[in-house]
Structure 1
């Protein structure tokens, strides 16, 4: 035996991966020890079989498709992940890379197959897939639970609002009745936030522009506003999504400011406009502007020194958001609130 052929056989049999010469009909012509170790057969036992005999039926169709393409000289080589049946009937995942050796005349001679055991990799992929499925199931469970919490909170707030409404029937003092109804409206504003969160695809935050439209519509209905007399302009940045901790104080601020405009800005017979603008800049800073073109504020107006629950709430909620307030009241009222969205 020539020295070059001896070196080839030594390399062939000692390779770290399975190597085989496979006949055109699929029978094993020459196999190395690594392939025998992978499959559990002796070389003599393997040479009595074909690769079709030990290939998993679900993988055989794809394997034969590539097999025919390489014989037809449509592709020079192919690689496929497939399953083999071992001698003990267990299944092993392998990566098989196949090329075709031809005679000088071009006729097919035999295939050279390089077979790598990838069972551990497949097991790791299965474990990862199972882990991902468990995570998805856990997330779905938490999502359902969170939706249920939002739904129950909304229902509980609506119950409180209904109780206040029932209680208001026994109130004789007009001023006390107004206070009751204002409290009821504030509770309904918070309930609406939880309803929007319940309906939102992202349970952590809501589209605040959509929320504001619903909130203001409910206030116009509560104050029985003639929409022909008071126009509403809403300009909201659609990119603004707020979480619960930000949405509730923001909603209550808007509630108080719009309510004030509806109650005081337009005395009987006066027409006007209420505007709400909300935008977010590239630094994640939110700017909220609520304005009207009504009768304006007194020259000595200082909302921090006014004994009004509504303005006290606006101040406290703005501090909660770490926001800066500016108010102009000489020609109508314009309220500016800026805060950074965290």
Structure 2
């Protein structure tokens, strides 16, 4: 045996990856020790088999299609991940790279297959897939639970609102009755936040534009507003999404400010417009504006000195979201609240 051939055989058998020469009909002609280690057969045992005998049936069609292409000279080589049956009937995942050796005449001679054991990698991928499936299942479970919480909180708030409504039937003092109805409306506005979050695809944030329209519609109904007399204009940035901790204070602020406009801005059946705007700048600063073109505020107005619960709520809620409020009341009234979205 020539020295060059001896060196080739030594390198062939000592290679770190499995190497095999495979006949055109699929018989194993020559295999190295690493390939035998991968599938558990001896080289003598393999010579009695074909690659089709030990290939997993789900992978065989793909394997044969590539072989047809390489024999037709459409491709020079191919690589696939496939499964072999080992001698002990276990399954091993391999990365198979196949090239075709040809005679000098161009006729196919045999295939050279390079086989790398990737069982550990496949196991890791399966473990990762199982982990991701478990995470997805856990997230879905938490979403269902969170929806249920929103639904129950909304129901509980509606029960409170109903109780206040029932209790108001026994109140004779007109001022006390107004207080009860205002409290009922505030509870209803908080219930509406939970209802919108329950209906939302994003359980963590609320599309505030949709919420405001429903909130103000309920206020117009509660105050029996003639919509032909008082118009509503809403301009909400579509990018404004608020979490629960911010949505509820903002909803109550809007509730109080719109209620003030409906009660005081248009006396004697006066016509007018209520305008609500909410926008977000590039620094995540939110600007909320509630204004009307009504009779305006007294020149000496200072909401800090007001004894009404509504103004105290607006002040406390603005502080809760770390916002700053500015009030202009010379021509109509404009309330502007700015806060940073965290």
**Counterparts of 1:75 and 1:178, CA distance in 2:** 85
Write the distance in 2 (CA, Å) between the matches of 1:199 and 1:152: 13
Give the gaps of 5 or more residues in structure 2. Answer: none
CA distance in 1, matches of 2:106, 2:223: 92
SS at match of 2:116: strand
Paired position in structure 2 for 1:48:
48
Partners in 2 of 1:105 and 1:319 — Cα distance?
89
Structure 1 residues 1-342: aligned runs within 5 Å = 1-342=1-342
Secondary structure at 1:235's aligned position in 2?
A: strand
- How far has the Cα of 1:63 moved from its partner? 0.5
Q: Distance in 1 between matches of 2:171 and 2:124?
A: 70
Q: Secondary structure at the match of 1:268?
A: helix
SS in 1 for 2:89: coil
Q: Distance in 2 between matches of 1:273 and 1:102?
A: 87
Q: How many residues align?
A: 342
What is the CA-CA distance between 1:297 and the residue it aligns to?
0.3
Cα deviation for residue 2 of structure 1 reads 1.3
Shift of 1:15: 0.4
What are the Cα deviations for residues 204-229 of structure 1, in whole angstroms up to 9, with x where unaligned?
A: 11100000000000000100100100
Aligned-residue offset at 1:78: 0.3
Q: Name the SS for the 2:150 alignment partner.
A: helix
- Normalised TM-score (structure 1): 0.99
Note the C-alpha offset of 1:269: 2.4
Q: For each residue in 1:1-39, what CA deviation from the matched residue of structure 2 results, as whole angstroms up to 9, or x when unmatched?
A: 111111111110000000000000000000000000011
SS, match of residue 267 in structure 2: coil
Query: Could you tell me how far apart the structure 1 residues matched to 2:7 and 2:278 are?
Result: 78
The alpha carbon displacement at 1:328 in A equals 0.1
SS in 1 for 2:75: coil
Distance 1:268 1:106 in 2: 103
Partners in 2 of 1:321 and 1:293 — Cα distance?
A: 27
User: Using the alignment, how far apart are the partners of 1:207 and 1:147 within structure 2?
Assistant: 16
CA displacement 1:281-321 (0-9 Å, x = unmatched): 11100000000000000000001110010010000000001
CA RMSD of aligned residues (A): 0.5
Q: Distance in 1 between matches of 2:240 and 2:275?
A: 17
Instruction: Report the Cα distance in structure 1 between the residues aligned to 2:39 and 2:149, rounded to whole angstroms.
Output: 55
Q: What is the rounded CA distance, in whole Å, between the counterparts of 1:123 and 1:41 in structure 2?
A: 22
CA offset digits 1:313-334 (Å, max 9, x no partner): 0000000010011000010000
Alpha-carbon separation, structure 2, partners of 1:42 and 1:230: 92
Unaligned runs of 5+ in 1: none
1:339 and 1:221 map into 2 onto residues whose CA distance is 30
1:93-129 Cα distance to aligned partner (Å, 9 max, x none): 0110000011111110100000000000010011111
SS in 2 for 1:172: coil
